[in-house]
Structure 1
Amino acid sequence: MSRTGPRAAAAALPAAALPAAALLAATLLAATLLAPLPASAGARDGMSATIRYTEYGIPHVVADDYAGLGYGTGYAAAKDNLCLLAQGVVTLSGERSKYFGPGAAPDGSLSSASTNLASDVFFTGVNRSGVVERLAARPAPHGPSEEIRALSRGWAAGYNRRLREGKITDPACKGAAWLRPITEKDVYRRAYALAMLGGSGMVTDGIVNAAPPGRDAPKAATPARPEVEAAVRNLMAGTGMGSNAVAAGSGATATGRGLLLGNPHYPWQGGRRFWQVQQTIPGELNVSGAGLLGSTTVNIGHNAAFAWSHTVATGVPFTLTELRLVPGDPTSYFVDGRIEKMTKRRVTVQVKQPDGAVKPVTRTQWSTRYGPVVTSVLSLDLPWTGWNAYAITDPNARNLRLLNTSLALGKARTTGEAVTALKSTQGLPWVNTIAADSRGEALYAQIQVLPNVTDDFADRCNTVLGRLMYRMGGVAVLDGTRSGCAPGAAPGTLQPGILNPDRYPVLTRSDYVTNSNDSHWLSNPEKPLTGYPRIVGDEESERSLRTRSGLVAVRDRLDEGRFARADMQDLVFANRVHAGELAVGGTVEMCRDMRLGEPCDVLAEWDVKADVDSRGALLFDRYWRKAAAAWDLWKTPFDVSDPVRTPRGFNTGSWAARKALVDAVRELRSSGIPLDAPLGDHQHVTRNGERVPIGGGTEALGLLNKIEAVWTPGEGYTEVRHGSSYVQVVSFDGDRCPDTRTLLTYSQSADPTSPHYADQTKLFSEKKWVTGRFCAGEIESAPNLRTIELD
């Protein structure tokens, strides 16, 4: 249902353009939407829901309407992860320094801020700008749909009910002064922060720390090429996110219908975790899967006829603009020959002092017509000099449509309806969509929110630095002296400055599509996708070992026969180390030539997997991390005509590889770790004192089951930072219930007192899965079914 009438129309206009009466109406609308909920909001407003819990604490929420569905979902989410959710509320309110001190680092789930103070200044600035309230007040499709408004209102009420019950057992926040009821605004703030993660949220420190230069500042500064190359190479790695997904169609499945594997790689700690849920409004919505904590919707999942997943895309969701400053006045800049002043905003946050007192601290933020001034993008310094400065333009800083898109995907019945949903809602900020439907179609679609930068536009408007960064990584650095070099409005878009939804790559196949965080180009090698703007992604360039590993595994499976559900499960947890498949034979030959003895025998007997019982996997891991970037590693370089199989041919004469092997052997021996130790003995997590071995491995190894863990000398990998998270395999077979297997690798709850704190983590260790329960009969037959009635 969409809002109509003068009140909705007023909300869609910028405040400066509204007459007094309309401005008042829009203000009242925003106030109504975002007012705090009373303690009895759920019961007073008639919200009700039923929550049925099946194995491993997975809730199935049923309600008569969207408000009730949000009510049950918010309650269940808070029951499992109240402390993580409440930490996010503190972060987005700009109050971390008040409660936890200014110097500690946030968990990184909502921005890249390196300190609590930087996080508070950033989010307080966002809150003072009123942007979330303005976006929330806009009617759909520009703002939240009526269904999302009801879900968000109900979600806040359900969260508050759980908080009001006082059944807090998690020591992370039990009795904490920072626990408080939330409002609908808090729900929107979280969705907004997630949308910005690939842009403004990735350069938080660079925005917060931007300050005009002093008198002795250099006249001008341009980053050196090696610095640029490193920054571009690590662009999205700084977000700590990745993913694999494979969708198979009728020509590649045993059922002749769709089959989907979703394997997102996300943090294991902090508030950017997935949480499983099924949401049902009889006759209206029935979707199961997982959402990022705080989401009112399922972000990755399936319904009775359609399944989807997301992978982090290569599209660059921001642009930089180089400003030519006025001599003697570094806070003014030239546009079209005229002088413009930067906007100065003083932001004050409350900061806990060493003696426990709380005092205000004020910082200044600087902004331009192109966006906030920024002095660094990940590892690349962009100094603010007396001659130039840089601003970041982040179109997702005007995007509160993400939840609309997730809900629309949850309602889609076919891949065609999914494409329509993506194009009409325009809410995905930094991900691809890979999907399959019961008709047997497989879909790859990179329809996201990117700046409206075509290659022709980039040629006209990029600076010298921009030409280099755009060619290497799709990062445009535009000429700020020309107003015409700001990305403009495109046809068919819901906001100015974003790319036309018809300019993105979309591929529908009856065999398969796949993505492992490389660009669109080789979603299916039989149909390379070319001709898209560089900002979307690169083409005809070397693929990562993980991408190649996935394509080889799919092709190997199809050479033997069509995919069944179990085959897709095996694909991700086979733990094939593609780097080992390409290089272990040559490494053993090199090792024997070096007369190293035991390491050669260990690697020769290795099963070339990263299973918990694989002996030699740890030695190869420590060696390959050191050797992988060597320029002389391969005899046959990348060949665009054979992109899946090149580069190849391990160079046994590589001096970098020889040194890496010696260093790895020395490292393990000095740590007292046997060279043939089973991987799980030294790659594990500890849950309530119990050590749980973990299989999988790092990005450089080229295996689908990505696991990035903290290396502790003398012990091994003692904690997982991020990697495989919510894994789902969904198979369709006629009119029957979807045949689904899922696994949440770090389990449903972060509360160490919960029975669902480590239960699925142990399944992950043993390569076991949870059987999905989607249809009513499946749910009702679950052993130890528990039901909660909320009214």
Structure 2
Amino acid sequence: MTGSHERGRLRTSAALSALLSLGWLSGAFAGEVEILRDTDGVPHIYAGSRTDAAYALAWAQAEDNLPDILRFVTEARGRAAEAFGGEGAIASDLLIRQFGLPPIADRLYAETDPDQRAEQEAFAAGINAWLTAHPEQKPAWFDRMTGLDLTRLSKFYQVSQQVQGTARAELRRGLGRAPAAEADPGGQSNMWVVAPSRTKGGETFLVADPHLPWSGRTRWWEHQVTIGERWSYGAAFFGSLWPGIGFTQDLAWASTNNAPDNADVYRIRLHPEDDGLYFFEGDWRPVIQRTETIAVKGEPSREVVIRATHHGPIVHEDRARRQAYAVRVAGLEAVDLGRLARPYFEARDVHDMHRSNRFGDHYMWHRTGADRHGNIAYFFFLAVNERDDAFNWSLPVDGSIAATEWGPPIAWDALPVMINPPSGWIQNCNNSAYTSTERSPLRPEDFPAHLAGTSTRLSPWSRGYRASEQLAANGALEFSDMLAMARDVKAVAAPRYIAALEEAYADDPPRGDAARALDILRAWDLEASLENVATPILTTFVEVAGPIEVIGRLAPSERRARFEEALALMTARWGGIAIPQARVHGSLRGDLFTPLPGAGNESARNPFVTLFMGHARRLQGDRWIADGGSSWQMAVRYWRGGVEARTLLPYGNSEDPASPHYDDQAALFASGAFKTARLTRAEVEEALESRITLTAP
């Protein structure tokens, strides 16, 4: 079942061997499963069935990141405050109770396809087997995992994103507040696919680069699963069954955030004298109210009153003004992310991929696909209901009238889909569906306006523009072009900042350091390379003056003053203004600082927008630390009847600081290189680090 790993072999303890022989760790034996780890720390699982594979997946995930898995499960159960304490954990537990997630998860799990439920139970059994074999790693606050926990995780992830992202932003706009900075942790992404008509050797390409935080719930874990003659290779979040981004011998897929309007805030009118009543269509209705108890570590339990209208739970009240705000979440009762990408294991092409998609599998995302037959595809996923486009759904809407009530769910086949467009390529870098290729066959007038963005033009300051520019300009693309694009560090939004400074000094020429700094910026090729000395100047300017929206509102004299203040800060901090990016920008893994090229998105401390993204959110000492951005890069090529791929993580495949794979990819990540994915058993055996055989229940 397990043991202490040594490079190339496995040493199993006598006590553990006794447990294995008695079958105490796995119940009724069904078949053996092998986990072969290569020298990059990637587990390759060889199983006889999907349930056996799920069991081994859990075991391998536990080896790499057990603490986070148990924490995520505990949060999804609504027991974070009891286990960990703190206001953040209490708020998390309250969210789960407000939106009634426990009974929803119970129902969805009971209705789950029996095969999928068996896989979830097998995954839970794998986690429990690891805990039994390693009792010293089991925290006092955790008992055992169940298959239901995976459905709970699915719902918690969905609602957290929809409520704390979409609905929270709508509420803050309605209250006249700026969006919270912490609402965007670098959650943007790139992907593109290219058909054989646009490639030099008749290949089909797919590139994926999700821009997400490098730790926490959205931290990627790379693996391969082989069952008989079929296999999949990809990355999943810890606590998930199948790869959210990945490929098989036939099909590759990727996703980006489509910024959907999949949650709405309703402005509620409370009765002038009775907080227990709200107004709707000429009547005063009773506010639905219940009391919940939240156990809190080290403190007395808290009694919380949860109030709701027929729209959904009330999340904010202003009783002085007799107003409240309620939230409705699309797909709350239907979406189960446990089905996400599950059918792709057997799919042979993008048409199978299309047929396998259904309402309830996804609550958001753009998705692209490419297959070994040369087909490419784009799908717009969204769980959303019909709504009246006469209302501005990006702001709180009037909850007292029937006109703002939702209609039925929009069917999956009514959403935007594009297969084999004439251009021969598709990109999506969080831009609208209608700007994903040149001469797009998709038109916004053919779909409801409230799905998501309706723009038909790309901003020149956007990643989508940069990707389209390269895909459209090159006649015959090669795989090396795909890898270069994935590592592209042209700072497409930096010209906005330079133009603002040029404007500030138009009537008052710069002198001294300001003149030297402007000369550096004018001569800069916009490449956010490790050697460049322009991005530290602009980043310090942003630190002092704020983002471009704030800078644009400053008078020229104020811009000049802030710029010169930033240059003085650079001199005090680093002894000069010509400081290479390698000195001041990078990742931090434990005590290992690794200089990084690239820049972040619009909410970063370095908001100059590059395809390859190192999203810096904090200054630690005298360095800006990137903790998000390009979070798992994958480039796939179907050619010569086969497939090959390159992949890369920011740190390594393990969250265990004692593991050799905790930070072994950091230097490669910074260098601009990739590692080759090992797809055949022979390739894995040649680079074998450890081998283990499990007996799955």
Paired AA for residue 518 in structure 2: C
Corresponding position: 1:148 with 2:116: yes
Question: Structure 1: how far apart are the matches of 2:340 and 2:475?
Answer: 35
Query: Is contact 1:198-1:236 (8 Å) kept?
Result: no
Corresponding position: 1:346 with 2:291: yes
Residue by residue, what CA displacement relative to the aligned partner does 1:226-280 show, whole Å, maximum 9, x if unpaired?
927x44xx79954652211111112222232321111101111223211111122
Matches within 5 A, 1:140-219: 144-166=112-134, 176-202=139-165
Residue of structure 2 in register with 1:34 after alignment: none
Question: Structure 2: how far apart are the matches of 1:167 and 1:751?
Answer: 17
Paired AA for residue 269 in structure 2: R
Query: Is contact 1:306-1:412 (8 Å) kept?
Result: yes
Gaps of 5+ in 2: 1-21, 602-606
Question: Structure 1: how far apart are the matches of 2:414 and 2:196?
Answer: 27
- In the TM superposition, residue 445 of structure 1 has moved relative to its aligned partner by 1.5
- Pair 1:239–1:131, CA change in 2 (3 A): farther
Paired AA for residue 327 in structure 1: P
Residue by residue, what CA displacement relative to the aligned partner does 1:470-492 show, whole Å, maximum 9, x if unpaired?
3xx4x56254442x642232xxx
Question: Structure 2: how far apart are the matches of 1:746 and 1:536?
Answer: 36
Matches within 5 A, 1:224-623: 227=176, 230-231=178-179, 237-238=183-184, 240-283=186-229, 285-353=230-298, 358-375=299-316, 383=318, 387-422=322-357, 424-453=358-387, 457-459=388-390, 462=391, 467=392, 470=393, 473=394, 477-482=397-402, 485-489=404-408, 498-508=409-419, 509=421, 511-527=424-440, 529-531=443-445, 532-540=447-455, 543-544=458-459, 547=462, 549-556=463-470, 558-580=472-494, 584=498, 593-595=509-511, 596-623=514-541
Question: Structure 2: how far apart are the matches of 1:163 and 1:613?
Answer: 47
Query: Is contact 2:489-2:529 (8 Å) kept?
Result: yes
Paired AA for residue 156 in structure 1: A
Question: Structure 1: how far apart are the matches of 2:217 and 2:173?
Answer: 36
Query: Is contact 2:431-2:464 (8 Å) kept?
Result: no
Q: TM-score, normalised by structure 1?
A: 0.77
Query: Is contact 2:536-2:580 (8 Å) kept?
Result: yes
- Pair 1:118–1:633, CA change in 2 (3 A): closer
Which range moves more in the overlay, 588-597 or 767-776?
588-597
Paired AA for residue 176 in structure 2: E
Matches within 5 A, 1:638-787: 658-672=560-574, 674-699=576-601, 700-712=607-619, 714-717=621-624, 719-736=625-642, 738-781=643-686, 783-787=687-691
Q: SS of 1:443's equivalent?
A: strand
Question: Structure 2: how far apart are the matches of 1:449 and 1:371?
Answer: 17
- Pair 1:629–1:78, CA change in 2 (3 A): same
- In the TM superposition, residue 450 of structure 1 has moved relative to its aligned partner by 1.9
Residue by residue, what CA displacement relative to the aligned partner does 1:487-532 show, whole Å, maximum 9, x if unpaired?
232xxxxxxxx22223322222251111111222211132263212
- Pair 1:560–1:89, CA change in 2 (3 A): closer
Query: Is contact 2:267-2:396 (8 Å) kept?
Result: no
Q: SS of 1:163's equivalent?
A: helix
Question: Structure 2: how far apart are the matches of 1:754 and 1:369?
Answer: 51
- In the TM superposition, residue 63 of structure 1 has moved relative to its aligned partner by 1.4
Question: Structure 2: how far apart are the matches of 1:747 and 1:134?
Answer: 37
Question: Structure 2: how far apart are the matches of 1:224 and 1:125?
Answer: 22
Q: SS of 1:721's equivalent?
A: strand
Q: SS of 1:389's equivalent?
A: strand
- Pair 1:268–1:223, CA change in 2 (3 A): closer
Paired AA for residue 600 in structure 2: T
Question: Structure 1: how far apart are the matches of 2:151 and 2:211?
Answer: 24
Identity of aligned residues (%): 22
The equivalent position to 1:137 in structure 2, one of 110, 115, 128, is 110
Residue of structure 1 in register with 2:15 after alignment: none
Gaps of 5+ in 1: 1-37, 104-114, 139-143, 169-173, 208-221, 376-381, 490-497, 635-650
- In the TM superposition, residue 627 of structure 1 has moved relative to its aligned partner by 6.6
Q: TM-score, normalised by structure 2?
A: 0.86
Paired AA for residue 96 in structure 1: A
Paired AA for residue 477 in structure 1: V
Question: Structure 2: how far apart are the matches of 1:39 and 1:365?
Answer: 47
Corresponding position: 1:94 with 2:78: yes
Q: SS of 1:759's equivalent?
A: coil
- Give the count of matched residue pairs: 660
Query: Is contact 1:516-1:546 (8 Å) kept?
Result: no
- Pair 1:373–1:434, CA change in 2 (3 A): same
Paired AA for residue 693 in structure 2: E
- Pair 1:271–1:167, CA change in 2 (3 A): farther
Question: Structure 1: how far apart are the matches of 2:191 and 2:575?
Answer: 35
Q: SS of 1:178's equivalent?
A: coil
Residue by residue, what CA displacement relative to the aligned partner does 1:562-594 show, whole Å, maximum 9, x if unpaired?
222221111121211113467658857976922
Question: Structure 2: how far apart are the matches of 1:565 and 1:262?
Answer: 14
- Pair 1:268–1:769, CA change in 2 (3 A): same
Q: RMSD of the alignment, in Å?
A: 3.2
Question: Structure 2: how far apart are the matches of 1:586 and 1:96?
Answer: 47
Q: SS of 1:44's equivalent?
A: coil
Question: Structure 1: how far apart are the matches of 2:495 and 2:277?
Answer: 57
Residue of structure 1 in register with 2:11 after alignment: none
Question: Structure 2: how far apart are the matches of 1:516 and 1:352?
Answer: 42
